[in-house]
Each structure stands twice: as C-alpha cells, then as structure tokens.
Structure 1
C-alpha cells in the first residue's frame, strides 16, 4: 500500500500546501481520501483526473471535500468524459457541495454511495471499517485494509474511546492533531491535540503515526514532540509530497 500526502493543513490552505488529502494506492487501484481545499493541483501533478478510481470522504466540512467538485468538473467536461466516479461519504454530507454548480453539469461524473458512520464496506481492493467519531457534523474514522496492511484514518475528531479501536495495531495512523496540547474551549470535544494522539496511539500499539490537520501556525516540531511524550514509535507531520510505502508488517514513514 502506498500513501501520497496531497495536503495536511486544517481549516484553510496555507501558501505552501493544501488541506487534508491523501491518495492511497494498492495493486493499481487509486483511492482518494478527503480531497480538501487545494489538493486537486498536487493530485494532477501525479496522475490525470480520470485515473482516480474512487473517493472516500470522512465528513462534509470543506477542508475535507471542497476539491471533489473541481475533480468532478474535470472528469465531466473532458473531451472524453471519465466513467462515473464512485464517491463514499456520510449520508447527506456532500449535498451542499454537489449543489453549487449549474444543474446537471456534473451529475454523470459521480455515483454517490452514502453510508452511516459505523458501516463497513469494500472499495476496490480495500476493506473499510468505519466508526462514528465526535465532531460538529457526522464524521467517520476508518480502518482501510488491503494485502495485510492497515491504514487508520481519523478524519476530524474529538477524544473518545473508539479512537483506540480505529488505531489498534495499524501499520500507519493518520490522526487529527489540530493543536499541540491545549485545545481552546470552543474546540474542546470536537478536535484533537498531538499529545492526545500520542496517548491513544500508544494504547493501540500503532506502528507509526502521521499527524495531520495542524491548525495554520501550529509548530509541527512541537506537535511531534508532544505526541512522542506518550508514544515511542515513529511520528511525522503530514506534508504535501510525502510518500509512505507500507509493505505488510513494516514501518514506512520517511
């Protein structure tokens, strides 16, 4: 399994990278996870829009899904339109995004598969097991398995016991670490810190951790140090262009 980081910012893109976005590849199948703001351009530097085989969206906030819309435009308006793209997202979460264009323009470009966080399903060679995680809107954490390798992805989440289940024995955990340690009152219960990630990654015996969704201005080195207070495995910050290869049973952080 190969994971390509397209972006790792939270809330809005910065001058140097976009928001959440991950391309996960296995046996030639390409699954795009959370195409947030400013992730389409780095995606298109690697492959044409028609080469994406499916999309998984954890929740409907635009920093996790906004660039799905231009991706659909590219596929719909090409000289040779691509086949309908399977899109998996919590039921109703993409309705506002899919309604912003002129009626009917991208309707043939996607096939929407709505799910309830907690559902399990297959996408190409990947088996997905999802959990409902605490956030302002319905949000799904997921274990994505293929070929004996497990990628755990939290999306956006506050603290909760399900996080250990999501991350248990995963080869790689990509985890919401919006803040270093202290979380402002307005976000308590709905977003996480790097220090919290370290604690549950340790309890889950996760093999490696990639911190994502850092709030613009958050010091990435401080985030790594905070996670390492409780977690002894490899820790890095998701940055655009990072590629992680995960053969079964091996650690793949750069």
Structure 2
C-alpha cells in the first residue's frame, strides 16, 4: 500500500497546495492496482490528474462535508460525465461519506441536473462498526470530534514493502482529541494526522482541530509507527508544527507536501 499526498492545505488551498486529498494505492493478489481516494477538497482535482486518470478511481472515501474536503467532488462528477475516459465505467463510482453528503453535493452544484453527481457516483453512508471493502482495502470509519459529523478512516491493506503482510494507515480527517482519535492511532503503521493549530495561539479553540503537540501525543498513546502531519493552515509555520510534534513523539515524523509518496 502506498500513500500519495494530492493536497494537504487546511481550510483553503494555499499557493503551494490544494486542500485535503489523499490517494491510496495497493495491488491485489492478481497484480491489479486499486485506487482509493480519501477526500477531494478545493483545487485537488487538478493535481490528482498528475497521478492517475480520475476515471480509474475505484472508490472515494469522504471524511466530512466541509468544502476543503469535498468541494471538488462536483467537478469530478462533471469530468466523469463529459470527459474522454481512460477507464470506461459500467457502474457509478462508489463514494462513501457521512449522513448529509448527498445534500451537501447538491448544494455545491446548485441542484443543477447538468452538473450534479447523479448517475456518476453511488453514495454510501458510513456506519460505525461496519467496515467497507474496496478491492484489497478494508476501510473502518471511526467517528471523531468536529463541528459537523466527521469520521477518521482506518484503512488496512497489503504491504508494498513486506510481501505477504498487512499494514494499516489511519487518516484522522478533521478532529480534536477524542476517543475516536485514539482508536485510529492504535497500532497504526502510519498515522496521517491533521495538525491545523499551534499550541498557545489565539486560534486554538477546542473541539475542532489538533495541534502538532496533540498529534504527537496521539501517536505516542497509540504506539503509531510513523506520523505524517497534514491539513496545515496558511497562517501557521509548518516548522513550528513539526517542532511541536517531535517534542512529544520520537518516531518518524514528516510534514505532508503535495506529491509526497510513502510506501507502507
């Protein structure tokens, strides 16, 4: 399994990065590559096309309905409807998300039948305790703390560096410290963890986002084997976020950047 960071900016795209979007790829026993996309925020459809033809996606997993995680889903629907495709589809693209995703997408398209996602995607709803299988991936949705219904995604699949073994990547989506975060971090090979805030600044209300320090502490509690910090907002210094995390967690830590690829 490999992680490819498509976009990692928090709250809105930055000059360097689209908003949140992450591609997971893994080969099944027959050598077929499966493509699972987690979130598709503002501006992410463009850089996604540098990694694969979006028509070749096998499924999309949405953590929550804020625009910086879903805003490019409607234009993905336009692409699937009208653009020439490298992977002709016989079925709509499976997409999973929280309650309210269908209405949120309709709001973003203005309820316009020419540009809505109807017929292009097949929506499923996350339910805790009900994992979803996509090819070699098993996706466990875990509810986390955010102002809207939100899920972290614990994804297990085949290792690309240790043949015959399984590995787990946990993506927090957007959350503050909560029991769900600790479930995500527990024994994860890679914790892909949002760290939008810095400790001790005016913009650190509770119940919305993590800091680098909170992300590091979650990795320690869960004994995560590596940590990638993401959803970094434009008004904070990534070096400060990284410093907060490494002060708490002594395992491997990276700051996400567009195009970062991690083999698990």
Counterpart-to-counterpart distance in 2, 1:184 and 1:61: 22
Q: CA RMSD in A?
A: 1.7
Q: Which residue of 1 aligns with 2:238?
A: 220
Counterpart-to-counterpart distance in 2, 1:117 and 1:41: 32
Q: Which residue of 1 aligns with 2:131?
A: 120
Aligned residues: 246
Counterpart-to-counterpart distance in 2, 1:142 and 1:96: 20
Change (3 A) 1:3 1:36: same
Counterpart-to-counterpart distance in 2, 1:187 and 1:76: 41
Q: How far did residue 186 of structure 1 move?
A: 6.9
Q: Which runs of 5+ in 1 are unaligned?
A: 247-254
Q: Which residue of 2 aligns with 1:86?
A: 94
Q: Which runs of 5+ in 2 are unaligned?
A: 28-32, 159-165
Change (3 A) 1:117 1:36: farther
Counterpart-to-counterpart distance in 2, 1:126 and 1:213: 23
TM-score of the superposition, structure 2-length normalised?
Answer: 0.88
Q: Output one character per residue of 1:30-58: Cα deviation in whole Å (capped at 9) or x when no partner.
A: 00101111111111112112111110000
Q: Which residue of 2 aligns with 1:98?
A: 106
Give the secondary structure class of the aligned counterpart of 1:144: strand
Give the secondary structure class of the aligned counterpart of 1:146: strand
1:14 aligns with 2:24: no
C-alpha contact 1:177 1:213 (8 A) present in aligned 2: yes
Q: Which runs of 4+ in 1 moved over 6 A?
A: none
Q: How far did residue 121 of structure 1 move?
A: 2.0
Q: How far did residue 192 of structure 1 move?
A: 0.9
TM-score of the superposition, structure 1-length normalised?
Answer: 0.91
Correspondences of 1:137-216 after superposition (within 5 Å):
137-147=148-158, 148-182=166-200, 184=202, 187-216=205-234
Give the secondary structure class of the aligned counterpart of 1:71: helix
